[in-house]
Amino acid sequence: MILEIVSPEATLFKGEVTSVTLPGVDGSFQLLNNHAPIVSILKQGTVTITANSFNFEKEVAGQFTKVNDQNFTLEITSGTIEMKDNKVIVLAD
């Protein structure tokens, strides 16, 4: 699936991922390939991205924390997520 994380300042990430775990207002949840369409509000917490490879722009790479070769995390204060047709868009603050 395609994940795009956008902040007011820039596009932080766009690429093919295996899964993404997000801090929902009712608890953390994970999205995988072919997940049903969803729109949700996010609270302060950690977004965990799992992928086979990562390509970060130099300007935003410092905002991500490497867990291991296939997992990176990003701290957010709030946001909104939409998943539809195997594309996840995260609007993050």
Residue 19, helix vs strand vs coil? strand
The tokens describing 42, both together, are 């996010």
Phi first, then psi, for residue 52 (nearest 5°) are -75, -30
Taking the alpha carbons at both ends of the chain, their separation in whole angstroms is: 22
For 2-92, give the CATH class: mainly beta
What is the tens place of the pLDDT at every residue in 18-55?
A: 999 999 999 999 999 999 999 999 999 999 999 999 98
DSSP string computed for 14-48:
EEE-SEEEEEETTEEEEEETTPPPEEEEE-SEEEE
Q: Can you give the pTM of this predicted structure? A: 0.94
